[in-house]
Structure 1
Amino acid sequence: MLDTALYDAYFFDLDGTIFIGDRLLPGVGKTFAALRANEKKIMFLTNTTVQTRADCQARLEKLGLCVEREEIMTAAYAAGLYFQQQADSARVLVVGERELAAELASFQIRQVQAPSQATHVLVGMDRTFTYEKLLLAADALRNGAKLIVANPDPVCPVPGGAIPDTGALAQAIETAGGATVWAMTGKPSRFYAEQVFQQLNVRPEQCLMVGDRLETDILLGKNSGMKTALVLTGVTTCHELERAGIRPDFVLPTLDGSAHDRQEQQQCR
């Protein structure tokens, strides 16, 4: 089982780490209860842009985990923080679903539809993505708008497989608009890490980042000075870990920590 006494704060990814679909993953409930009993700081760090923090809170509570909204950071909410802190007069053309637009609206960030009016294009996951949306975003970039990407995830894990995510759409828009990404608001960006450290008032060395993706979760932790734990319940497989250049501090097949799991962990090293 994950050591729940060693660090002051524990950060967890959601999809592939805490749950997949409507199923809580092995060991999550026991780990969460132990962290609460030890009065540890907890925060759920997700790159989702198709759920608000309130949506994430409701989903976790439905699965039996009682959390506060302030214990959740999404890439969509981080985008709102980014514009509030660094471009509060921005006029943003959003490529994404209504939840991304809602989080921006909560920060009173102006949103526009016309490419000629946009100072920024913000890209999130969009399951209604069309050629017209691609054209509008590309036009805005060619008119000088800056490209802001919520996260680099190419796919999102779902029961039975994966679906295209923000990174896939952002690459298409980047290519069509002849632009490069100006900033990223989600994992593994330094901006994202700074927001959660400030919110919990902790230093990186006091924290453990737990997730299933090497290139976002583990890289976020390593780039910002946290210890990292990879769980093999989501995107990254044991075989992929062996070939990767990103090395977590710990590897756990699940958060459950059974004897069989520890044997599998040894085989991954």
Structure 2
Amino acid sequence: MLDTALFDAYFFDLDGTIFLGDRLLPDVEETLATLRKNQKKVMFLTNTTVQTREDCLLRLSKLGVDVLREEIMTAAYAAALYFQEKASTARVLIVGEPAMEREMMGFPIKLVQDPKVATHVLVGMDRTFTYEKLRQAADAVRGGAQLIVANPDPVCPVQGGAVPDTGSLARAIETASEASVSDVIGKPSPYYAQKVFQLLDVLPKRCLMVGDRLETDILLGKNSGMKTALVLTGVTTKRELEASEIVPDYILPTLGALHSGQSGEAGKR
């Protein structure tokens, strides 16, 4: 059974773990309240680039989840931190939506629209992606700009199926430019993990990563020294879990298994 005394901090994915669409998932409020009552640190980790941290805060608040902006990490915000720390003089051409631009504008990072002067192309999910955007991004990369991907997700699950996400657009730019991605920022990248550990001031071995996606949430935890818990309220099915080489430390039927003491599927594999 999962022993919460082993952990000082809990990292939660959002969609499929905390909420599904506009619905809060079972046991979320009780679980978070219990963790906070027990003085555990909590942070919400998402690969979104189409919502700012403020957008995520508002969405959670509307669902009844008490959270601070500083307890939210998005792939877009992580990208802004990345450029501030690793390429402060960069001239960044963005392929993405306004939320990513707003996150970047909170930092002294120069955004450009001319592919000839861009030193980096930053790619996020873009539901208005066009041939012209593809051409400009490819021109910039062929001209020497580094291709930086905000998250590796090829698709984003939506009700009734899935839509192309950042990874699909990045692959198109790679093909058109005949170049490769230079770096990936979001889950499960080492940079993303490093940032959240720094922000919460915690040791990886004292953290639990909870999420519904094996290839991002669980892999983030396993690659960075955290224990991991897959919650079966999102995209990963039992059949997919059994077929995967990515094995979580714990399996939770709902988030409530973190504090309820129930065994069942919430035991170690």
Which band: TM-score by shorter chain? over 0.9
1:246 corresponding residue in structure 2: 246
Q: Letter of the 2:235 partner, please give it.
A: V
Select between 232-241 and 61-70 the one with higher mean Cα deviation: 232-241
1:143 corresponding residue in structure 2: 143
Structure 1 residue 239: Cα displacement: 0.6
Find the aligned partners of 2:63 and 2:100 in 1 and give their Cα distance. Answer: 23
Q: Secondary structure at the match of 2:182?
A: strand
Percent of residue pairs identical: 70
Q: Letter of the 2:210 partner, please give it.
A: V
List gaps (5 residues or longer) in structure 1: none
1:40 corresponding residue in structure 2: 40
Residues 249 and 264 of structure 1: CA distance in aligned 2, closer, same or farther (over 3 Å): closer
2:165 corresponding residue in structure 1: 165
Q: Letter of the 1:248 partner, please give it.
A: P
Residues 262 and 155 of structure 1: CA distance in aligned 2, closer, same or farther (over 3 Å): farther
Residues 225 and 14 of structure 1: CA distance in aligned 2, closer, same or farther (over 3 Å): same
Q: Letter of the 2:22 partner, please give it.
A: D
Q: Secondary structure at the match of 1:84?
A: helix
1:178 corresponding residue in structure 2: 178
Deviations 1:161-186 (A, max 9, x none): 32221111111111111111111111
1:214 corresponding residue in structure 2: 214
Structure 1 residue 252: Cα displacement: 1.3
Find the aligned partners of 1:170 and 1:3 in 2 and give their Cα distance. Answer: 40
Aligned residues: 267
Find the aligned partners of 2:159 and 2:3 in 1 and give their Cα distance. Answer: 28
2:54 corresponding residue in structure 1: 54
Deviations 1:9-47 (A, max 9, x none): 000001111111110111211111111111110000100
Q: Secondary structure at the match of 2:221?
A: helix
Deviations 1:114-146 (A, max 9, x none): 111110000001111111111111111100100
The TM-score with structure 2 as length reference comes to 0.94
Find the aligned partners of 2:37 and 2:3 in 1 and give their Cα distance. Answer: 13
The TM-score with structure 1 as length reference comes to 0.94
1:88-103 alignment, distance < 5 Å:
88-103=88-103
2:107 corresponding residue in structure 1: 107
Find the aligned partners of 1:197 and 1:218 in 2 and give their Cα distance. Answer: 16
List structure 1 runs of 4+ shifted beyond 6 angstroms.
none
